[in-house]
Each structure stands twice: as structure tokens, then as C-alpha cells.
Amino acid sequence: MALGKTIQIYMPDGSPTSIKIAEVTTRIVQLILIPRNKLSELGQREEVKNVGIYFLFGKSDADGKDSVYIGEAENCFERLKQHNRDSNKDFWNVAIVAVSKTGSFTKSHVKYLESFCYKEASAIGRYKLENGNIPTQSSLPEPMIADLMDNFETMKTLLSALGFPIFEKVATEERKEIFYCKGKDANAIGEYTNEGFVVFKDSKCNLIETATAGKWVENMRRDLLESGVLVNDDQVLRFVENYIFGSPSAAAATVLARSANGWTEWKDENGITLDQLKRQ
């Protein structure tokens, strides 16, 4: 069983949509979230002028996917100002800087973390990586790497707590409660999780929407096609990756190509509905 953690989030100007400073109270890593339009207000804060690793979050201009650029700097504030002026990196609207509260990060530390974070984010695949080049990894002693992995776990936790689960797997290999949704040509498998309803890779959807599907179903499926989550595959639409929907009904509507009540459409192997298992 995972141990509990206490996370402290400080809002310097009192606004929950503005700058946030987050930390696990027993760890040395500190994350600073900065909306892009607040960047000019950071000049007074010494935390962001330290050696650190940073993340630029936004939507890809090409396909609208959640995107991230991962970098490192000896002075994160100065580097963020450079990115703010760079028209080639105009996709981002939020930056998150990770620094050491004790000032213990060195250039070698953050280069190692930059490379490790890039590889982890690429393997998990939640966000499209906007880095033009793959970061190189610095060579460090084994004990130092062990400390950095502990720092990474703190960063991972704080990023998720701030709403950016870049290092959280969409679904674990050990699927616990599997549900099925079937239609004319549709055959989908999914799982109800903390984040929403996950439809698994290779699930199949009906190709053509019904006449009464409604614009929201049509628009949702079109967006998934345009972003590459769904592909046309021999008279069905197929998921090419695990995808999280905000609700079971949105997931079922995508699969069945019509308005649907996901609580009754998703059933376990015994035919028991999601509603019966989770709401009654």
C-alpha cells in the first residue's frame, strides 16, 4: 500500500490560477508553476533563478495534442524568458520549474534529470514531446543517481498534483476491473480509473455515426481522428493507444457512434454493468 504524503502549495498572490509553489514537506525538491502571462512577475522570486529542470506545457499547434518541452538551465528564469521570445516554441502556456530547496542541484544533476525525464515521458506517451533533439545524459556515480531518482519521484508526484501527470501510466499492465462495450462492429475493452474511463489500445468502434448521434459525438470522434488516437481500419475505427475519457458515457458514445449511457453500456465479463458495480 502506498504511503501518504503531505503536499504544500503556496500561492504568492492568493490566486489559484496564478503562480504556485509546491513541495512535499519532507523532500528537497520544489516545483514552481508559472502561467506564461505571469512570467514577467517572477523577477522578484529567487527560486526560479536557480539551477533546475523545467517543463513547458501546452497544446501542439499541429494536431492539438497535449505537448511538453523538457529542458534544463543554470538560471531557469533567464531560460524561460528566452523561450517566451522564441516564436518556434509558441505552443506553451504554462511552465513548471523544478529546483532544489537546498540549492544542491548542479549542471550535471539537471542534465541527467532532463535526459531521464525525456525518456520516461516518451515511453509513457501521455504528452507529445516538442524537443527538437534527444537530451544527452551526463555520467554520474551510482549513489548520486540513486538520490536523483528519489528527486524524480518527488517531481512526478508534484507534477501530477498540479494537474500534469506526464509520468503517470494511462493504465497499468495489471488490469484490475475490465469492462466491455460491444455494438454492430464495435468491440472495446476499458477500465474505470481515478482519472476517468480508459479505453484500451486496439479497441474497435463503429465507423459511421447514427443519424441521432448528435454534434457532440461527431465532434468528439472527429477530434480523436484528427489527433491520431483513432484510425480508420477496415470499416471500423481503431484506437492506436490507450485513451482516457472524462466519463464512461463519452467513451461508450465514441465506441458505439451514438449517444450512449456508459454506465449501462460498459459491462464486465459476467454482464454486470458499471452502474451496478460502482453506483448501486
As averages over each run of 10 residues, the pLDDT of the chain (280 residues) reads 84 93 94 94 87 94 83 95 86 96 94 96 91 90 95 96 91 73 95 90 95 92 90 93 92 96 95 91
- Quickly list DSSP for 1-52: -PPP--EEEE-TTS-TTS-EEEEETTSSEEEEEEEGGGGGGGGG-SGGGSSE
**pLDDT at position 62:** 67
**pLDDT at position 247:** 94
**pLDDT at position 174:** 58
Domain boundaries, given as residue ranges, for the chain: 7-161, 179-278
Beta carbons of 259 and 217 less than 8 angstroms apart:
yes
Give the whole-angstrom CA distance, residue 120 versus residue 194.
Answer: 21
Strand-pairing partners, residue 99, are: 30, 52
C-alpha cell, 111 = 542534465
**pLDDT at position 171:** 61
